[in-house]
A and B are shown apart, each in its own frame.
Chain A
Amino acid sequence: MAKEKVLNERTDINTPFKDFVRKFKKQKTALVAMCFIIFLVILSFISYQIAPYGINEYDYMSILQGPSAAHWFGTDEFGRDLFSRIICGTRISLSVGLFSVSIAAICGTILGLLGGYYGGLLDSAIMRVCDVLFAFPGIILAIAIIAILGSGMTNVVIAVAVFSTPTFARLVRSTTLATKGNVFVQAARNIGASDARILFRHILPSAIPNIIVQYTMSIGTSILTASSLSFLGMGAQPPTPEWGLLLSNGRTYMMTSWHTTLFPGLAIFLTVLAFNLLGDGLRDALDPKLSD
């Protein structure tokens, strides 16, 4: 039996946010994932200060050495310390993820809101463009965009943003369509609210939980895509310590020096996994259908 709490009706306020926090606290895996992500974020700020070696500190005396006390993750073909390079790569991967997905979320949300709310020709146009973008496999689309814009991290951000936008547009459009029919939207119109007010005060807040979940999940995917592009040589250029690039370099020596691929791979894997787990946890905590 749970203990019975005596609650005062006057002071016991239950806001949607409190509700979310209460439910999110129960998602243990998501909490661990969130701690890991916070750790990564902090790391991305201080990595250059705490790295034991410089990221481009060549040491030809110790090339391709396995993990040791001096080089925790071993060294690469130029004797650079892998541990330092990986922790400094955090900043690149996180910022690529954050920027590209933020751009995608903002563009996608606006397109989705407008399409869903006004319908008609505008909606058809937006959705057809999305369908076209969906028809390409994500990575190929990104490669095509890079091919047009040229390689480099900024272009990677743009490429990833372009191929994530339709996901947001479609998601926001469907919530908009569902919310638009709600009585409270009609009630808002009844008191004379303008379209802009209805869109941003009533419909958008209903879509925000979905957007947050998608945002989190997309960061994982876009970090993966950005790394893949770098792996293919279309993103970051040497000697940037980008994880995909590290992996690509290590590939040559994979047979003899396993650590050159294992650690960058692990960094990508754990980061993407953490974002996905956090997204799952957020979804469970934010989903009104699962509320009690």
Chain B
Amino acid sequence: MDTRKNILEIKNMHTYFFTDNGVVKSVDGVDIELKEGSTLGIVGESGSGKSVTALSVMGLLMGTTGKVVEGEILLEGQDITKLSDEERRKIRGNKISMIFQEPMTSLNPVMKIGDQIVEAIRMHQDKSKEEARAMTIEILKKTGLPRVERLVDEYPFQLSGGQRQRVMIAMALVCNPKILIADEPTTALDVTIQAQIIDLMNHLKKEIGTSIIFITHDLGVVAETCDEVVVMYCGRVVEKGNVYDIFGKTAHPYTEGLLNSIPKLGEHVEELASIPGNVPNPKYMPKGCKFAPRCPYATARCEEEEPGFFDLGNGHQSRCWRCEK
């Protein structure tokens, strides 16, 4: 059993969006723990609530109709949902940083790259411009970018997608955050560039000691980078555990379906296993287990009653009636 303490605990969090067409329960009762110095993967398809979970933790829901309506987010034991906007802002970028999927749009196009990072530093730390610039150059060098001294005075459009993502990572890590949330950081990148970025993140994690939450739909990336995995479906966590249990002793039919539906290199099958049907429209959410309509093992009970978590040992939990002992 892993004895490292939890740096971040999300307890029974509900994030709802209040739209003209009614309430969309994007995250509906999620419990997630992140251990110090580890990498946690949140896996799910579109609409699973994985990105909304990240935005809720970051406190970046303002400006949308979304709101954390219930639950706690404990950062080193302190509930940050109770904090004022100003206090949340101080945490953001300093203790928790985030990198986004789209490296093209996350940087300000009319500001020099160096200035953007300097600004991020000076927002949280009492540093002179020169000191901040020195820090910027140092962190950019760590990300393996070429000709850093010239690059700090360039604009984002002069960089490629992979280079921009490196700049984003540098910006996120410059204040030595406790937690780095990476929302699909490699999805927009090519495989060979993705390999570079994953390599970089693994390397920096060791060097800086940041805990990482890695949000992705790519199970291959999860297997290569994460220690712990949380699988989300329709705003709920359906299975969690360490990476070996999730891939080796898969307990939830959804996780099983996901794993089976990816084509594997060098394995030639006539037909891929697949999960039938579609992710339910939030307007027509099923009553019992949210996965029941697509589940090959679904029984009458699954359609009526939503299962809770069942413990499978070693922190491996699954929200499926089949795991009930």
Chain A residues with CB under 8 Å of chain B are 1-2, 4-5, 7, 9, 12, 22-23, 26, 292
CB distance A292 to B21 under 8 Å?
yes
CB distance B23 to A2 under 8 Å?
yes
CB distance A7 to B284 under 8 Å?
yes
What residues on B are CB-neighbors of A2 within 8 Å? 18, 22-23
What residues on B are CB-neighbors of A1 within 8 Å? 23
Question: Which B residue's beta carbon lies closest to that of A4?
Answer: B22
Instruction: Report the Cα distance A7→B281, complex, angstroms.
Output: 11
Question: Which A residue's beta carbon lies closest to that of B280?
Answer: A9
CB distance A7 to B283 under 8 Å?
yes
Is residue B105 contacting chain A, with contact meaning CB distance below 8 A?
A: no
Instruction: Report the Cα distance A26→B19, complex, angstroms.
Output: 13
Question: Which B residue's beta carbon lies closest to that of A6?
Answer: B284
Is residue B271 contacting chain A, with contact meaning CB distance below 8 A?
A: no
CB distance B22 to A292 under 8 Å?
no
User: Nearest Cβ in chain A — how far from B315, in angstroms?
Assistant: 35
Which residues of B from 1 to 36 have beta carbons under 8 Å from A?
A: 18-23
Instruction: Report the Cα distance A5→B282, complex, angstroms.
Output: 12
Q: Can you show 18 pairs from A to B with CB atoms below 8 A apart?
A: A1-B23, A2-B18, A2-B22, A2-B23, A4-B22, A4-B23, A5-B22, A7-B283, A7-B284, A9-B281, A9-B284, A12-B283, A22-B20, A23-B20, A26-B20, A292-B19, A292-B20, A292-B21
Instruction: Report the Cα distance A167→B284, complex, angstroms.
Output: 44
What residues on B are CB-neighbors of A26 within 8 Å? 20
What residues on B are CB-neighbors of A4 within 8 Å? 22-23
- The 9 lowest CB-CB distance pairs between A and B, nearest first, are A2-B22, A292-B19, A9-B284, A292-B20, A2-B23, A7-B283, A7-B284, A292-B21, A1-B23
User: Nearest Cβ in chain A — how far from B68, in angstroms?
Assistant: 15
Question: Which A residue's beta carbon lies closest to that of B285?
Answer: A4
Instruction: Report the Cα distance A4→B284, complex, angstroms.
Output: 10
What residues on A are CB-neighbors of B19 within 8 Å? 292
What residues on A are CB-neighbors of B284 within 8 Å? 7, 9
Instruction: Report the Cα distance A1→B67, complex, angstroms.
Output: 13
Instruction: Report the Cα distance A26→B284, complex, angstroms.
Output: 24
What residues on A are CB-neighbors of B18 within 8 Å? 2
Max chain B CB contacts within 10 Å: which of A2, A22, A26? A2
What residues on A are CB-neighbors of B23 within 8 Å? 1-2, 4
Chain B residues with CB under 8 Å of chain A are 18-23, 281, 283-284
Instruction: Report the Cα distance A2→B283, complex, angstroms.
Output: 13
What residues on B are CB-neighbors of A23 within 8 Å? 20
Instruction: Report the Cα distance A26→B18, complex, angstroms.
Output: 16
Instruction: Report the Cα distance A12→B283, complex, angstroms.
Output: 11
Q: A2-B18, A4-B22, A292-B21 are in contact. List 8 more A-B contacts (CB 8 A).
A: A2-B23, A5-B22, A7-B284, A9-B284, A12-B283, A22-B20, A23-B20, A292-B19
What residues on A are CB-neighbors of B283 within 8 Å? 7, 12
Question: Which B residue's beta carbon lies closest to that of A23?
Answer: B20
What residues on B are CB-neighbors of A22 within 8 Å? 20
What residues on A are CB-neighbors of B22 within 8 Å? 2, 4-5
Instruction: Report the Cα distance A271→B283, complex, angstroms.
Output: 42
What residues on B are CB-neighbors of A5 within 8 Å? 22
What residues on A are CB-neighbors of B20 within 8 Å? 22-23, 26, 292
Question: Which B residue's beta carbon lies closest to that of A1?
Answer: B23
Question: Which B residue's beta carbon lies closest to that of A2?
Answer: B22
Instruction: Report the Cα distance A1→B20, complex, angstroms.
Output: 12
Instruction: Report the Cα distance A166→B156, complex, angstroms.
Output: 38
User: Nearest Cβ in chain A — how far from B234, in angstroms?
Assistant: 16
Question: Which B residue's beta carbon lies closest to that of A22?
Answer: B20
User: Nearest Cβ in chain B — how far from A23, in angstroms?
Assistant: 8
Instruction: Report the Cα distance A292→B282, complex, angstroms.
Output: 14
User: Nearest Cβ in chain A — how far from B272, in angstroms?
Assistant: 26
Instruction: Report the Cα distance A22→B20, complex, angstroms.
Output: 10
Instruction: Report the Cα distance A5→B23, complex, angstroms.
Output: 11
What residues on B are CB-neighbors of A292 within 8 Å? 19-21
Instruction: Report the Cα distance A292→B22, complex, angstroms.
Output: 11
Instruction: Report the Cα distance A5→B20, complex, angstroms.
Output: 13
User: Nearest Cβ in chain B — how far from A289, in angstroms?
Assistant: 15
Question: Which A residue's beta carbon lies closest to that of B21?
Answer: A292
What residues on B are CB-neighbors of A12 within 8 Å? 283
User: Nearest Cβ in chain A — how far from B187, in angstroms?
Assistant: 20
User: Nearest Cβ in chain B — how far from A158, in angstroms?
Assistant: 44
Question: Which A residue's beta carbon lies closest to that of B19?
Answer: A292
Instruction: Report the Cα distance A9→B282, complex, angstroms.
Output: 11
What residues on B are CB-neighbors of A7 within 8 Å? 283-284
User: Nearest Cβ in chain A — how far from B304, in angstroms?
Assistant: 16
Instruction: Report the Cα distance A5→B285, complex, angstroms.
Output: 11
User: Nearest Cβ in chain B — how far from A269, in angstroms?
Assistant: 33
User: Nearest Cβ in chain B — how far from A22, in angstroms?
Assistant: 8
User: Nearest Cβ in chain B — how far from A181, in angstroms?
Assistant: 18
Question: Which B residue's beta carbon lies closest to that of A12?
Answer: B283
Question: Which A residue's beta carbon lies closest to that of B23?
Answer: A2
Instruction: Report the Cα distance A26→B212, complex, angstroms.
Output: 44
Instruction: Report the Cα distance A43→B37, complex, angstroms.
Output: 76
Max chain A CB contacts within 10 Å: which of B18, B19, B20, B281? B20
Question: Which A residue's beta carbon lies closest to that of B17?
Answer: A292
User: Nearest Cβ in chain A — how far from B117, in angstroms?
Assistant: 32
